[in-house]
Structure 1
Amino acid sequence: MPGLHRLPRTASLPFYDDPLQSETIPIRPAIPLELILLCHAATRAMKTGRFPIGDEPAEHDARSQLAPLRARGNARVIASPARVARETAAWIADAFDIVPAFDDIDYGRWRGHSIRETGEREPEQVAAWLADPHARAHGGESVAMLAARVAEGLALIDRLKGCERCIVVTHAIVVKVALAQALGKPLTSVYAMNLAPLSTTVLERATSV
Structure 2
Amino acid sequence: MNVFYNQEGIGDVLMVLLKEGERHHQSVERTGDVAIVKSEDGSVNGYNLFQASEHFDVTGWNGPVDLTTELVEQIRTVLKKHGIEEDFSWVDVTPKFVVGYVESAEKHPDADKLSVCQVQIDQGTVQIVCGAPNVATGQKVVVAKPGAVMPTGLIIRPSALRGESSHGMICSASELNLPNAPQEKGILVLDNEYEVGTAFEIGR
Both proteins in one fold, TM over 0.5:
no
| TM-score when normalising by structure 1 | 0.24
What TM-score, normalized by structure 2, do the two folds share?
0.25
Q: Pick the structure with more strand per residue.
A: 2
